[in-house]
């Protein structure tokens, strides 16, 4: 993971990399505006870096809960037809998707 | 130039539970496609995962069996990637705070073992050979999607294919003993990836590693690793670089093909899963899980060695097959002779099980019956060769060893009168050899013994024969 702690300067290739990871097809003329927008977001978040957070554990959610676990007992599933009802495409009993890795 | 291979393994184990990792759809292999699915595992919007208590316990059992440290707290993370087998576009896994931390198993360091969810199964159609490249479409079955998976990662402590195979064999037996998984390679409930690199012997720095994916038998894993070591050593020998890649091993041609090269490091953008809370196993809970574990294969191996004086290889092979080890221990106790019991169990008895496909305790040759046969051999009432025939007969005949020995006419002729008569006949028939023996060719004792054994139909006790011969020949 890249760190943007001080300068917040993003390069065009950072923007293209993030777009690729998100499977976004960007036009060349979209890169520069998005870079500016992303830099604004990072600057906003970077306010946190000004605080002394040593000793503050990373928080993934605000709840003081641990060990929320479910018993291992099956409950009724969706029917296959319900499951497939929203599929963009189906083939027999399965979800049909475009060929992978083409 | 001599080369050293450095191998680390990533092992995925499907855990034995009734339901999936984060929803309560059945976790069952072989059901019709897309019948064990719900809004959670199909990633419909707004659905929330809840972790499976039994899956956590199964993972902890394995961690304890592998000598892992169990941290006071572990948490869940999202591993982001796009693939049709992962409908959320991320996998819930554990990144920096795994359930099971560093451990050690058979001298190989375990880096970690963490819980995650399995992906769906995709079948590629329309491309001719079922492989991904050039296929027309993929069909997705989400039954496996979201089922609990334990990923075990080792340090690069293994040095060859055979060593990796032995490690995996012991690991599998141990996990099976904990009850956490059936570890069936064919059904995919155990999957192994190997990271292999090669360096000059004596070098500290590691070479470039390649990853061998999804080999489906321990034998092929051993051969695949060996083939990869040869491939890399040949490249280095020729002064060419090894390029980081993911490889597929084809056992039929004993060769490797490149699935993909790593042009860019994987970027999964892990972050803490906000939909799940941390897991903090209490010390009391861990103690209870540890106390309930059965005797594990490595412990049993040591005990078999110490208690019965078995050689390493025998102890290991028995410890890997619990049913056979139980049989052995019962037999050794009844027969009072662990060495003889081990010889029978590893030899004739195992051959009989292999031939009949039977389970040790389902065999008609019970420990009590076999102990009876061992006693007859010890008394000298049947020769060891004869005993093998008696054993073969015992499989289909419920009579005891003594009765079968009698019926087959294999009773050893031990009494001096009967044996003496045979000895006299043999000596009378070979005057030249008798003269030669008395003239100093004492090695002819072997010839006479052979003749007597033959004349007795193999039933004579060779020791008794030799002592009678020496007596008669005035030795």
Identify whether B451 is part of a domain. yes
Pair (B166, B22) in one structural domain: yes
Cβ contact B364:B395 at 8 Å: yes
CA distance linking residue A50 with residue B421, whole number of Å: 108
Whole-angstrom Cα distance, residue A79 to residue B135? 29
Please give the tally of structural domains in chain B.
Answer: 3
Are B79 and B178 within one domain? yes
Task: Identify the band that residue B417 occupies on the pLDDT scale cut at 50, 70 and 90.
Answer: confident
The CATH number linked to A31 is 1.10.20
Mean pLDDT, residues A58-77 taken together: 90
Identify the three-state secondary structure at position A61: coil
Q: Quote the distance between the C-alpha of residue B321 and its chain's center.
A: 8
Shortest alpha-carbon distance between residue A32 and chain B (Å)? 23
> Which of these three, B407, B428, B450, is where a domain ends?
B407
Question: CA-CA distance, B309 to A78, in Å (whole number)?
Answer: 58
Q: B283 with B356, same domain?
A: no
B13 shares its domain with B127: yes
Q: Are residues B326 and B398 in the same domain?
A: yes
Among all residues of chain B, which has the CA nearest to that of A17? B267
Q: In the prediction, which pLDDT does B291 show?
A: 97
Whichever domain contains B468, its CATH number is 1.10.10.410
Handedness of CA B261, B135, B219, B93 (dihedral sign): positive
- Cβ atoms of B349 and B365 within 8 Å: the answer is yes
Would you report the helix, strand and coil content of chain B in percent, each value rounded to 5? 40, 20, 40
Q: Chain B residue with minimal CA distance to A68?
A: B277
Q: Do A66 and B73 touch (CB under 8 A)?
A: yes
Count: domains in chain A: 1
Lowest-pLDDT range, B67-71, B155-159, B406-410?
B406-410
Domain end call among B407, B428, B451: B407
Helix, coil or strand: residue B90: strand
Number of DSSP helices (H) and strands (E) in chain A, helices first:
3, 3
The closest of B430, B425, B432, B424 to B471, measured between CA atoms, is B424
Dump pLDDT digits (tens) for B73-105. 999 999 999 999 999 999 999 999 999 999 999
- A87 within some domain: no
Residue A5 in domain? no
For the cut 80, the answer to whether the pLDDT of residue B43 exceeds it is: yes
Q: From chain A, pick out residues whose CB is under 8 angstroms from the CB of B26.
A: 74, 77
Pairwise CA distance, residues B353 & B122, whole Å: 39
Domain of B375, in residue numbers: 295-407
Classify residue A7: in a domain, yes or no.
no
Nearest Cα residue in chain B from A70: B52
Question: Which among B233, B110, B269 has a CA at the least distance from the CA of B174?
Answer: B110
Tell me if A23 and B50 make a contact (CB, 8 A cut-off). Answer: no
Q: Is there a contact between B298 and B306 (Cβ–Cβ < 8 Å)? A: no
Residue B233 lies in a domain: no
| Mean of per-residue pLDDT scores for chain B | 92
**Is B139 in contact with A63 (Cβ distance < 8 A)?**
no
Residue of A21, A63, A99 to mutate for B, most B C-beta atoms under 10 A: A99
> Which pLDDT value is given to residue A8?
63
> Considering the domain boundaries, does residue B256 fall inside one?
no
Q: Which helix (H) or strand (E) holds B112?
A: strand B108-117
Residue B40 domain-assigned (yes or no): yes
Question: In this structure, are B306 and B423 located in the same domain?
Answer: no
Q: What is the pLDDT of residues B222-238, one digit of tens each?
A: 999 999 999 999 999 99
User: B138 has which bridge partners?
Assistant: A97, B124
pLDDT reading at A1 higher than 50:
no
Q: What is the pLDDT of residue B132?
A: 54
| Under 8 Å between Cβ of B146 and B25 | yes
Q: Within a domain: residue B461?
A: yes
Is B258 domain-assigned?
Answer: no
Same domain, B112 and B52: yes
Q: Assess whether B155 and B276 both reside in one domain.
A: yes
Domain encompassing residue A31: 12-50
B340 and B283 inside one domain: no
| Residue A37 belongs to a domain | yes
Q: Is residue A91 a part of any domain in this protein? A: no
Query: Tell me, what's the pLDDT at A57?
Result: 80
Q: With pLDDT > 90 as the criterion, what percentage of chain B qualifies? A: 74
Tell me the per-residue pLDDT of B381-415, one tens digit each, with 9 for 90 and over: 888 888 999 999 999 999 888 888 888 877 766 66
Q: Identify whether residues B428 and B321 lie together within a single domain.
A: no
The Cα B151–Cα A84 span in angstroms is 30
Domain check: are B389 and B459 in the same one? no
At B124 the three-state DSSP class reads strand
Same domain, residue pair B371 and B433: no
Contact indicator for A21, A28 with CB cutoff of 8 Å: no
* Structural domain includes residue B220: no
Query: Cα torsion for B25, B29, B34, B38, to the nearest 10°?
Result: 10
- Minimal-distance CA residue of chain A relative to B281: A67
A72 falls within a domain = no
- Write the residue in A21, A58, A61 that is nearest to B267 by C-beta: A21
ipTM value of the model? Answer: 0.85
Sheet containing strand B271-272, strands side by side? B90-93, B77-80, B271-272
- Give the residue-averaged pLDDT of B135-161: 94
| B436 touching chain A per CB within 8 A | no
| The pair of three-digit structure tokens given for residue B63, joined into one six-digit string | 């961690």
CB contact A71 to B (< 8 Å): yes
DSSP string, B176-225: HHHTS----TTTTSEEEEEEEEEEETT--S----EEEEEE-SHHHHHHHH
- With 0-12 / 13-18 / 19 or more C-beta atoms within 10 angstroms meaning exposed / middle / buried, residue B432 is exposed
Q: How far apart are CA B280 and CA B74, in angstroms?
A: 6
B466 pLDDT tier (thresholds 50, 70, 90): confident
Residues B431, A30: Cα–Cα separation, whole Å = 112
Confidence grade of residue B131 (pLDDT, cut at 50, 70, 90): low
Per residue in B274-318, pLDDT (tens digit) is 999 999 999 999 999 999 999 999 999 999 999 999 999 999 999
B22 in Cβ contact with B51 (< 8 Å)? yes
For residue A44, being part of any structural domain is answered with yes
Task: Assess if residue A19 is contained within a domain.
Answer: yes
* CA atoms lying within 13 Å on the CB side of residue B102: 3
């Amino acid at each position: 993971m890249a760190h943007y702690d001080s300068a917040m300067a993003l390069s065009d290739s950072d923007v293209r990399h993030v777009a690729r990871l998100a499977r976004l097809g960007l036009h060349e003329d979209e890169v520069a505006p998005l870079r500016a927008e992303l830099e604004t977001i990072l600057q906003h978040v970077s306010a946190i870096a000004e605080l002394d957070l040593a000793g503050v554990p990373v928080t993934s959610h605000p709840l003081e809960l641990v060990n929320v676990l479910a018993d291992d007992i099956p409950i009724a599933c969706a029917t296959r037809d319900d499951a497939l009802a929203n599929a963009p495409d189906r083939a027999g009993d399965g979800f049909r998707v475009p060929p992978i890795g083409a | 130039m001599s080369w050293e291979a450095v191998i680390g393994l990533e092992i995925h184990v499907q855990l034995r539970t009734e339901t999936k990792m984060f929803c309560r759809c059945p976790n069952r292999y072989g059901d019709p496609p897309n019948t064990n699915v719900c809004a959670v595992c199909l990633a419909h919007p707004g659905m929330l995962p809840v972790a499976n208590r039994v899956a956590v316990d199964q993972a902890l059992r394995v961690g304890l069996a592998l000598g892992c440290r169990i941290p006071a707290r572990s948490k869940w993370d999202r591993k982001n990637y796009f693939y049709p087998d992962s409908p959320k576009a991320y996998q819930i896994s554990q990144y920096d705070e795994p359930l099971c931390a560093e451990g050690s198993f058979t001298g190989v360091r375990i880096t970690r073992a963490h819980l995650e969810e399995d992906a769906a199964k995709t079948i590629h159609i329309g491309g001719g050979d079922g492989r991904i490249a050039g296929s027309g479409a993929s069909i997705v079955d989400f039954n496996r999607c979201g089922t609990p998976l334990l990923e075990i990662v080792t340090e690069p402590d293994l040095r060859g294919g055979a060593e990796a195979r032995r490690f995996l064999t012991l690991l599998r037996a141990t996990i099976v003993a904990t009850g956490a998984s059936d570890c069936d390679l064919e059904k995919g409930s155990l999957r192994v990836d190997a990271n292999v690199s090669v360096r000059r012997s004596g070098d500290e720095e590691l070479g470039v590693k390649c990853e061998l994916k999804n080999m489906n038998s321990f034998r092929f894993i051993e051969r695949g690793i060996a083939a990869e070591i040869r491939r890399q050593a040949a490249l280095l020998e020729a002064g060419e670089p090894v390029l980081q890649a993911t490889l597929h091993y084809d056992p039929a041609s004993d060769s490797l093909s490149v699935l993909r090269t790593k042009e860019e490091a994987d970027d999964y953008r892990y972050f803490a899963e906000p939909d799940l809370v941390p897991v903090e196993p209490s010390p009391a809970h861990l103690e209870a899980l540890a106390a309930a574990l059965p005797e594990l294969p490595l412990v049993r191996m040591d005990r078999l060695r110490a208690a019965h004086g078995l050689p390493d290889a025998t102890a290991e092979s028995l410890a890997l097959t619990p049913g056979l080890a139980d049989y052995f221990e019962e037999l050794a106790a009844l027969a009072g002779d662990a060495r003889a019991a081990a010889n029978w169990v590893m030899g004739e008895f195992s051959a009989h099980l292999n031939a009949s496909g039977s389970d040790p305790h389902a065999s008609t040759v019970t420990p009590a019956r076999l102990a009876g046969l061992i006693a007859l051999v010890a008394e000298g009432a049947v020769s060891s060769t004869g005993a093998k025939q008696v054993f073969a007969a015992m499989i289909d005949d419920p009579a005891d060893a003594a009765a079968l020995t009698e019926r087959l006419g294999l009773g050893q002729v031990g009494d001096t009168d009967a044996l003496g008569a045979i000895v006299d006949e043999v000596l009378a028939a070979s005057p030249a050899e008798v003269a030669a023996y008395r003239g100093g060719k004492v090695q002819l004792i072997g010839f006479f013994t052979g003749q007597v054994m033959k004349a007795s139909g193999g039933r004579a006790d060779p020791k008794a024969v030799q002592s009678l011969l020496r007596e008669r020949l005035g030795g």
